[in-house]
Amino acid sequence: MNPDRPEQTTGPVTGRIVAFITNYNAAVPLPGLDRHVARAFANWLACTVGGSGDGSVSRLLGVMDRVAGNGAATAIGCGRRMDMASAAFVNGFASNVLDFDDMHVPTLIHPTGTVVAAALAMAEVQRATGRALLDAVAIGIEVELHVGRCLFPGHYDQGWHITATAGVIGAAAAASALLGLDREATARALAMAATQAAGLRAMLPNEGKNLNVGKAARDGVMAALLADAGLTSAPAVFDDAFGYFSTFPPVDGYQALLGELGQKFLITEISLKPYPCGVVIHPVIDACLAIARRDGFVVAGIRSVDIHVHPRTAVLAEKQDPASAITSRFSLHHAATLALTFGNADFATFERASVADPDLAALRQRITVHRDDDLPQTQARVTIDLGAAGVVTEHVTRATGGPGNPLSDAQLGRKFVQLCRRAMDDAAAEALYARCLTLSEEPDIAAFMETVATRG
């Protein structure tokens, strides 16, 4: 392969992605990029530690005990070690359990779910440095999100879980970078990941959604390992007439969008959630919290609540009577009810509030969702009739945690500690958070992982 013209073998689209992965230099791309990646990593780690105590993860570990032997990679917070592909699977699964993981709103992808799970397992076994892990995560997220925006919204609307179908590409990109694969091997790894791309949106209100994320992380690791072993695959999977973008039809002008890979860094657009629920619900929560915290507000005085959101938000989260804790995290009605009733919608509030609570159920019945084409997906308007106290309205244009209103390091730190209490004390969590923010200075990721290996 001509190193200056990778597209001669791989095709122009595949060649562009391969060149970005193999030529990446973290010192060049964007001032402050390391901070974005480190914060995203910290958020992922906290969600994974928190999720590791969920019953679904315990059931998953029971299955893994039957199929995965001992190894050199850590299942975070579980006190287990297994092969790197299986660790990526478990950690990717756990990171998505609480619906508290990050989100790229323009594509509805959870960027770190697959990429960090794959990269971390590979880095631990390779005994890579924090610098190498940080770069690999950045590579994987950028590839994943640039591929994702070539597909969205048609791909998502058709029923594909884009976090998995684009995430497996990002996972393979990150794993390939850590293995130091050359251009030809990287192209093969991407193709092996692409042929495994799967995941249905039908899984979103159940534990199948976590399976999608874990599987994509594992498949990305396996794709890189198979390519490193010399197995062959389509050399131009993103250009092939029967390849990725032929099977998953892209948007018009997708070649130009991919041309921005390495020029426009989409990781800066990631939202780190303050609330453990679908990110499209966050503007509604912000609006309800602002109203609930006004002087004189009394929840018992609510006659009706009118929520105006983008139509896609309503499609994703218009659930007046959620049947379980999982579905409640995809319910505009439930989230608004929590915010108005408790003046909070944090992790602890979602954990203790039962969907069967009669008072909460009664308030949900007074909420009406309106689909408003004039509202962007990042905004919401809430109007509440308080009877004799009048009518109040709140319009949120920049949700908390989004790129226009990001969590501070202190806010992210509080979230980190709250989630990590499931596996360690506050002092240990605070120390771990500080290490996450200086991840590039870690000399050995295997040593770093000893802090999150065993439950307290």
pLDDT, tens digit (0-9, with 9 covering 90-100), for 196-229? 999 999 998 899 999 999 999 999 999 999 999 9
pLDDT at 332: 97
> In this structure, what are the phi and psi dihedrals at residue 141, rounded to the nearest 5 degrees?
-65, -45
How far from the centroid of its chain's Cα atoms is residue 286's Cα?
A: 21
User: Which of helix, strand or coil describes residue 158?
Assistant: coil
Taken in order of first residue, the domains within the chain and their CATH numbers are 7-274+433-452 (1.10.4100.10), 279-396 (3.30.1330.120)
User: Which of helix, strand or coil describes residue 12?
Assistant: helix
Share the mean pLDDT of the chain: 94
Structure tokens belonging to residue 414: 């509080």
| Alpha carbons 70 and 93: distance in angstroms, whole number | 19
Written as one string, the DSSP assignment of 247-284 is HSPPPTTHHHHHTTTTTS-GGGGPBPPSSSS-GGGHHH
Structure tokens belonging to residue 393: 């309205």
Average pLDDT over residues 64-73: 83
> Contact 52/422 with Cβ under 8 angstroms?
yes
pLDDT at 326: 87
> Contact 102/270 with Cβ under 8 angstroms?
yes
Selected residue with higher pLDDT from 454 and 58: 58
pLDDT at 345: 95
Banded pLDDT at 79 (limits 50, 70, 90): confident
Average pLDDT over residues 377-398: 96
Structure tokens belonging to residue 428: 């240990």
Tokens 């480190």 belong to residue: 38
- Convert the pLDDT of each residue in 89-114 to its tens digit: 999 999 999 999 999 999 999 999 99
> Contact 321/327 with Cβ under 8 angstroms?
no
Quick one: what percent of the chain has pLDDT higher than 70?
96
Tokens 């899984």 belong to residue: 203
Sign of the CA dihedral 252, 253, 254, 255?
Answer: positive
Tokens 């990717």 belong to residue: 92
CB atoms within 10 A of CB 390: 10
Tell whether the model's pLDDT for residue 2 goes beyond 80.
Answer: no
Tokens 């995430």 belong to residue: 167
Secondary structure element (H or E) that encloses residue 382, with its range: strand 380-385
> Contact 330/205 with Cβ under 8 angstroms?
yes
pLDDT at 26: 58
Tell whether the model's pLDDT for residue 85 goes beyond 80.
Answer: yes
Selected residue with higher pLDDT from 370 and 326: 370
- Residue 397 identity (one-letter amino acid): T
Tell whether the model's pLDDT for residue 456 goes beyond 50.
Answer: no
> Contact 181/224 with Cβ under 8 angstroms?
yes
Average pLDDT over residues 10-20: 93
Banded pLDDT at 129 (limits 50, 70, 90): very high
pLDDT at 68: 80
> Contact 396/380 with Cβ under 8 angstroms?
yes
Banded pLDDT at 341 (limits 50, 70, 90): very high
> Contact 423/456 with Cβ under 8 angstroms?
yes
Q: Are strands 73-75 and 367-371 parallel, antiparallel or unpaired?
A: unpaired
Q: How far apart are the first and last CA of the chain?
A: 51
| Alpha carbons 399 and 145: distance in angstroms, whole number | 21
